[in-house]
Amino acid sequence: MGDCITWIVKILHQSISISGFQTALTNTVLDDPLGKTVELRIHEVLEYLLTDTVCFLSEEPEELLALQKKEWGPLWEWFNNRYRVSLIPTNSLLVEISPELRNTMQEYVTSFNKWSLTGFEYAVESAKSLVIACALAEKEISVEKATSLSRLEVEFQIKKWGSVEWAHEVDLMDLRSRLAAATLFFHLTSGSTLDGYKED
């Protein structure tokens, strides 16, 4: 009975969180609190390519490296095939980004309206990964899978050393809620007439 109640509380908390995040995203579009130009926002999104979560391989332990290749490998392959680019993971400080890759992704992100761009930005920032955000935008992976891929090293450490339930559970649910809200917001506003919205 206790486990059932805990599960219900978690589901309710996540639903409330998603709704709250979506409201915040809507207000961000309408109020534009930071006053950034679209060009600057796109530039900042593309900068995540240099430090993308799923592009950095651990040199050790070997078990983690093997897990990264197993879990992230299909995502690299999909990304390169989908956008016809060559994104190569690394174990150095920064991912090497070719002009072709940057131009391709800039064209892709520039195609979003200001509403869907806001959702996409939020997904990138939450997952710390443009690759994961693209996969969510293209419906290639689920929110649950995106969360797992983003937290791969954390989950590896939890399995090895154990978890601090209240802390790790909160982090997991928070990230999942953020990615769910961002993805839903993106798909609800993509190709919509919301760009024509005018304030009274």
- Residues 152-180 have pLDDT tens digits of 999 898 887 666 665 557 788 889 999 99
Q: What is the DSSP string of 125-176?
A: HHHT-HHHHHHHHTTSS-HHHHHHHHTHHHHHHHHHH---HHHHHHHHHHHH
Q: Which of the residues in the chain have pLDDT under 70?
A: 1-19, 21-22, 161-168, 191-200
- Residue 8: predicted pLDDT: 30
- Residue 94: predicted pLDDT: 82
The structural domains of the chain, ordered by start, are 1-191 (1.10.3580.10)
Tokens representing residue 159 in the block: 């399995």
Q: What is the DSSP string of 90-110?
A: BSSSS----HHHHHHHHHHHH
